[in-house]
Amino acid sequence: MGYANPQSLVSTEWLAQHLNAPDVRVVDASWYMKHLGRDPKAEFKAEHIPGAVYFDIDDIADTDSDLPHMMPSAEKFSSRCRRLGLGDGVRIVIYDGGGCTAAARAWWMFRAFGHDDVSVLDGGLPKWKAENRPLADLPDVPRERHLSARYNTFLVRDVDQVLDNVKRNREQVLDARSAGRFAGTDPEPREGLRSGHIPNSLNLPYQEMFKADGTFKDATGLQAAFDRAGIDMKKPVVTTCGSGVTACVLALGLHLIGHRQTAVYDGSWTEWGGRDDLPISR
């Protein structure tokens, strides 16, 4: 694969071999857009990888915010993870039912709170099921575990920082939405949002991180995708999307090939496109 940080991605074969390891914890972070009509909690109850716990990005969030699944406080993140048995001294492997989208968001959250021993299951639950690997339908009862959560602001950008960057252009902004949404020719799936993109930003639909089978491209393929998007690997990158989920897929892709200055704009287009006082381009 040639990744600079191969530890951030594990194969279904690796997880199957380490499923019962005492220092490995499995997390289902499935989340779906409403128009898909899928219930991730119900699906988790029906079937999940044995020993997995459900990580709800809408609950482990700043629920006082009007924006979806914004980053929670370190205290809330630590409390919720402790109840799930996720904490210091364990390797956390995250998957989701869609492949590697919401899993990438949870991966980024753990890193933003100082837990670097975290990986994404390459291909996610679809690949696991396609290989006829074991599934469970009984809830796991985790033992609480301490988590030392320390918020790393270098991995997160807020709206004021992104607006300042529009003027200063110090960081490259990379949008994970589709080309049509980025151009403003296709409607946004969330009502009430303007169409277009953040001025001076670049576009790389998150699907370009994956091969046809839903697993991540190798380092050469990822690098080629970022090159096509016009990314200079020597400069900082801020990823964005609709609500801060698929932006994390791009952040994971950049991390895999060794980019060291990557942050995620947490509010993303739900915030930017929902405000009339912020500039947009089409």
The secondary structure element, H or E, covering residue 135 is none
Residue 200, Ramachandran bin (φ over 0: left; ψ between -120 and 50: alpha; else beta): left
> Could you report the per-residue pLDDT of 156-180, keeping only the tens digit for each?
999 999 999 999 999 999 999 999 9
Pairing of strands 202-203, 172-175: parallel
Report how far residue 52's alpha carbon sits from residue 241's, in angstroms, rounded to the nearest whole number: 28
Mean pLDDT computed over 193-215: 97
Tokens of 264: 């995620």
Q: For 126-154, what is the mean pLDDT?
A: 93
Contact 35, 282 (CB under 8 A): no
Structure tokens at 221: 């393929």
- Concatenating the DSSP letter of every residue in 152-198 gives -GGGEE-HHHHHHHHHH--SEEEE-S-HHHHHT-S--SSTT---SB-
Give residue-wise pLDDT tens across range 229-239.
999 999 999 99
Determine the Cα–Cα distance for residues 125 and 131; give it in Å rounded to an integer: 10
Contact 137, 46 (CB under 8 A): yes
pLDDT score of 1 more than 70: no
pLDDT tens-place string over residues 81-104:
999 999 999 999 999 999 899 999
Confidence of residue 139 (pLDDT cuts 50, 70, 90): confident
What's the pLDDT score for residue 166? 97
Decide: 98 and 36 in contact? Cβ < 8 Å.
no
Domains and CATH numbers, the chain: 6-151 (3.40.250.10), 154-272 (3.40.250.10)
In degrees to the nearest 10, what's the CA dihedral of 60, 62, 63, 68?
-90
Mean pLDDT of the chain: 96
Percent of the chain with pLDDT over 70: 100
Which pTM does this prediction carry? 0.97
> What is the pLDDT averaged over residues 131-146?
91
**Could you list the active site residues?**
241
| Residue listed under structure tokens 């892709």 | 253
For residue 99, what pLDDT is reported? 86
pLDDT tens sequence across 54-87: 999 999 999 999 999 999 999 999 999 999 999 9
